[in-house]
Amino acid sequence: MLKKKHTENTETPEEGVIDENIQGTEAEAAPKGPSAEDKLKEELSAANDKYLRLFAEFDNFRRRTVREREEARKTEGKDVIVAMLPVMDDFERAIRSMDNATDVNAIKTGIELIYNKLSSTLAQKGLKAMDALGETFDADIHEAITNVPAPTDDLKGKVIDVMEKGYYLGDKVARFAKVIVGA
């Protein structure tokens, strides 16, 4: 708009001075170095590069943790299985010895020994049997199979018989006890 005023010769001397001063400052700013626009472009490029590197690093981290979790799932029960192998060996020896055995009491004793070994191995791994017989029925740890008439009044609402033992693994229920409840 100032240039139009220049061509029409309607400018005042003050306007011409302002116009020359503006042109002079623009001319002085250009040769000093990179413009603000160039600096911003460089900063943007650096920020994009940093973002891409961070994104790639996070993606690699995610893949690595997924792979580690899969490997951990595959081997998480390994220690229990390795601890059970001697019990398995004892069962195999018992089966072989039953072919030639004539004494039932010896077989019974051998099986009891294997059961005790199995129980102690599982107890070392944190498995504990529930004592449900005679306890008040609790739906959080018991699974009622059926209700039967209670032989006495004090057995109403209590566990009369246990069909399958329940187990705790640590503080959590590993298997609910299947019980018969007095009604």
The answer to whether the beta carbons of residues 177 and 142 sit under 8 Å apart is: yes
Which pLDDT does position 1 carry in this prediction?
A: 47
Q: What is the pLDDT along the chain (183 residues), one digit of tens a residue?
A: 455 555 555 545 555 455 555 555 554 544 567 788 999 999 999 999 999 999 999 999 999 999 999 888 877 778 888 888 888 888 888 888 887 878 888 888 888 898 999 889 888 888 898 888 888 888 888 888 888 888 888 888 888 888 888 889 888 888 898 988 888
For residue 41, what are its two tokens?
Answer: 């472009």
The pTM score is 0.54
What pLDDT does 21 receive?
A: 52
Which pLDDT score is estimated for 126? 86
Could you count the other beta carbons within 10 Å of the beta carbon of residue 66? 10
Contact partners, residue 110, CB within 8 Å, separation at least 6: 94, 97
The confidence score (pLDDT) of residue 23 equals: 53
Domains and CATH numbers, the chain: 57-125 (no CATH), 128-183 (2.30.22.10)
Which DSSP string do the residues of 82-124 spell out, in sequence order?
Answer: HHHHHHHHHHHHHHHHHHH---HHHHHHHHHHHHHHHHHHHHH
Angle, helices 104-124/78-100, rounded to nearest 10 degrees: 180
Tokens standing for residue 89: 């060996």
